[in-house]
Amino acid sequence: MSLDADAPDLDEQMLMRLAQLDLEAAERVHGRLLAAEGADEVSDLGRTYQRMARSLRQTLALKARLKREREQGLKDAAPAPPGGVAVARRIRELRQGVLRVIWNEAETDEDAGFAEEAMEDLVAHECLGDSFCAEPLDDHIARVCMILDLPSEAAERWRDLPDPPPPGSPGPANGHDAGPPRRSSA
């Protein structure tokens, strides 16, 4: 069976048929009511017609409620988890942003290395969840930086920070000379 909101299910089809029968019966009783001449007959047919009309209204109301509930169920259905391409892109972008903050804030290459390892562990754990790509990238980077105790100011301006040095590149981190250890802006 399709999850199409416009396709009636078996319950709705039965209610539709019942509504048709209720309408036919109400029309038939109404026709007899109009043709009735005696007060007792008019009274009996009037009550019968009233019951038939009430049955039809209840059937139509139930049919409408089932349709609304089915449509709401479709709206409330959980979104599909992100696919492999979306997860791979998010991992790459998240790493890039957080690495920029790490290498901007670390005082030594060793500090940056420890922070990178912690970030890799965190990203590896988070990417397994269905909601991995759910939040905006900037918020995701800020949250990971917060978990790693990196300054929120740097996380907010991660796009303006320089890229970290390539892995295994010779020389000090972030283009600083080999002089005294770098100072964090924190």
Q: Are residues 113 and 95 in the same domain?
A: yes
Among 76, 98, 128, the domain-final residue is: 76
pLDDT tens string 16-75: 888 898 889 889 988 988 898 888 888 888 888 888 888 888 888 888 888 888 888 877
Q: Are residues 70 and 120 in the same domain?
A: no
What single letter denotes the amino acid at residue 163?
D
Based on the domain organization, do 89 and 160 belong to the same domain? yes
The span from the CA of 32 to the CA of 45, in Å, is 7
The answer to the question of residue 184 being in a domain is no
Asked if 135 contacts 90 with a C-beta cutoff of 8 angstroms, the reply is: no
Note whether 120 and 102 are within 8 A (CB).
Answer: no
Distance CA 136, CA 127 (A): 14
In a domain, residue 177? The reply is: no
3-state secondary structure 39-83: HHHHHHHHHHHHHHHHHHHHHHHHHHHHHHHHHHHHHHCCCCCCC
* Residues 93 and 145 placed together within one structural domain of the fold: yes
Can you give the pLDDT at residue 144? 93
Q: How far apart are CA 41 and CA 112, in angstroms?
A: 95
Q: Which of 35, 57, 76 is the last residue of a domain?
A: 76
Q: Pick the more confident residue, 115 or 182.
A: 115
Residue 171's pLDDT is: 42
126 compared with 171, residue with greater pLDDT:
126
- Same domain for 89 and 70? no
Q: What's the sign of the alpha-carbon dihedral 160, 162, 167, 173? A: negative
Same domain as 156, residue 108: yes
Give the tokens for residue 9. 């299910």
Which residue, 57, 76, 95, sits at the end of a domain? 76
Q: Does one domain contain both 90 and 164?
A: yes
The count of domains in the chain is 2
Asked whether residue 1 is domain-assigned, the answer is no
Note whether residue 5 is domain-resident. Answer: no
Instruction: Establish if 151 belongs to a structural domain.
Output: yes
Cβ neighbour number for residue 181 with a 10 Å cutoff = 13
Separation between Cα atoms, residue 72 and residue 16, nearest integer Å: 20
pLDDT greater at residue 177 or residue 90: 90
Of residues 170 and 186, more confidently modeled: 170
- Mark whether 67 and 24 lie in a shared domain: yes
Helix (H), strand (E) counts: the chain: 6, 0
Same domain (yes/no): 64, 119: no
Whether residues 89 and 71 share a domain: the answer is no
Q: Are residues 66 and 95 in the same domain?
A: no
93 and 15 co-located in one domain = no
> Are 143 and 168 in contact, with CB atoms under 8 Å apart?
no
Instruction: Give the domain range for residue 69.
Output: 10-76
| Higher per-residue pLDDT: 171 or 91 | 91
Question: Over the chain, what is the mean pLDDT?
Answer: 82
User: Could you tell me if residue 178 is inside a domain?
Assistant: no
Please give the backbone phi and psi of residue 9, each rounded to the nearest 5 degrees, phi first.
-85, 180
